[in-house]
Amino acid sequence: MNETLVRWLEAREIADTRSRSRELAKAFAMVVKTTDQVIDLGCGTIANFRYLDPFLSMNQNWIGVDHDSGMLRRSEALVPRTRVQLWEMDLAFGIGSLPHGQGYAFTASAFLDLVSLEWINRFADHCKESPILIAMSSVGQPEWSPTHALDEPIRKKVELHQTSDHGFGPSLGANAASYLADRLSDYGCQVNLQETHWELDSQDHALLSMMIDGIERRVGTMHDPIDAQSWAIQRRDQLHHGELRLVVRHLDLLSLPRSIPVLVEFD
Closest separation between CB of residue 239 and ligand SAM, Å?
A: 22
Please identify, using beta-carbon distances, which residue of 117 and 226 lies nearer to ligand SAM: 117
Q: Is 90 in the site for ligand SAM (CB under 6 A)?
A: yes
Over its C-alpha atoms, the chain yields an Rg (Å, rounded) of: 19
User: Site for ligand SAM (CB under 6 A): which residue of 109, 137, 138, 190?
Assistant: 109
Report the DSSP pairing between strands 84-88 and 61-66.
parallel
Whether 137 and 113 have beta carbons less than 8 Å apart is answered as yes
Q: Which of residues 2-31 bind ligand SAM (CB under 6 A)?
A: 9, 13
Q: Which residues pair with 250 in a beta bridge?
A: 138
Closest separation between CB of residue 142 and ligand SAM, Å?
A: 16
Q: Is 110 in the site for ligand SAM (CB under 6 A)?
A: yes
Q: Which stretch binds ligand SAM (CB under 6 A): 29-37, 106-114, 122-130, 212-220?
A: 106-114
Whether 37 and 61 have beta carbons less than 8 Å apart is answered as yes
Beta strands in the chain (DSSP E): 37-41, 61-66, 84-88, 104-109, 132-138, 143-145, 190-195, 198-200, 245-248, 250-256
User: Site for ligand SAM (CB under 6 A): which residue of 24, 31, 42, 183?
Assistant: 42
Q: Which stretch binds ligand SAM (CB under 6 A): 67-75, 120-128, 224-232, 250-258?
A: 67-75
- For residue 171, the SS3 value is strand
Closest separation between CB of residue 8 and ligand SAM, Å?
A: 8
